[in-house]
Amino acid sequence: MSGRSVEELRAATQQAADEGVDAVFVADSALGDAVTLVAALAVLTDGVLLGVRSTLRSHPTVVAREMTTLDHLCKGRALLALEPPFDAGTKEAMALCRDMWRRGIAAGEGPRYPVPGAVNHPGPRTAGGPPIALNATVVTPPSELIGLCDILVVAGEPGALGAAPAGVAVCQIPHA
């Protein structure tokens, strides 16, 4: 979701909620940091998932902490949507986020995201942490990553990529 102003972003979010949209996604933009923007939008809606589109410019353990805070602020409606490129670093990042959310600590030797032991307390409001989505509107993620995500975001028809693995929801958005 985008807008030329915070007011336009708020109006678009409210309209989406009124129309029964399941999720709203916000990326970093000229308006500011996506996590901060989504936190501000949380007060406008009650049932819409609030997604942060991330290219993992920050270390995944930092992203996991930010998403934990957001999950509390939006009462369990936070959603982390990872953007391409998808590679081995994406798999590593997903594992670190999940460890932060499920175990409260994450450690790893890398290779892309080494961390000796990042702590995440308190944990997220959502059991197991916010869902992780992969944005497949531009490029199809590798099947091993699709099997690790909770939601696959597709443009157009949900069946365009074939059947999603068991446990992976498909979120259809208008053509990107």
- What does the domain layout of the chain look like in residue ranges? 6-173
DSSP type of residue 46: S
> Given this model, what pLDDT does residue 4 score?
81
Q: What are the phi and psi torsion angles at 27 (to 5°)?
A: -110, 160
CATH 3.40.50.410 is held by the domain 6-173: no
Please state whether the peptide bond connecting residue 111 to the residue before it is cis, i.e. omega within 30 degrees of 0: yes
Question: Is residue 89 classed exposed, middle or buried when 0-12, 13-18 and 19+ CB atoms within 10 A define those classes?
Answer: middle
> Given this model, what pLDDT does residue 164 score?
77
Contact between 107 and 126 (Cβ < 8 Å) = no
The first and second tokens of residue 38, run together, are: 């989504």
Q: Report helix angle 60-73 to 34-41, nearest 10.
A: 10
pLDDT per residue rounded down to tens, the chain (176 residues): 666 899 999 999 999 999 998 899 999 998 999 999 999 999 888 889 999 999 998 999 999 999 999 999 999 999 999 999 999 999 999 999 999 999 999 999 999 999 999 999 999 999 999 999 999 998 989 999 999 999 999 887 655 556 678 889 988 886 54
Q: Where are the beta strands (DSSP E) in the chain?
A: 23-27, 49-54, 78-82, 105-108, 115-119, 132-135, 151-155, 169-173
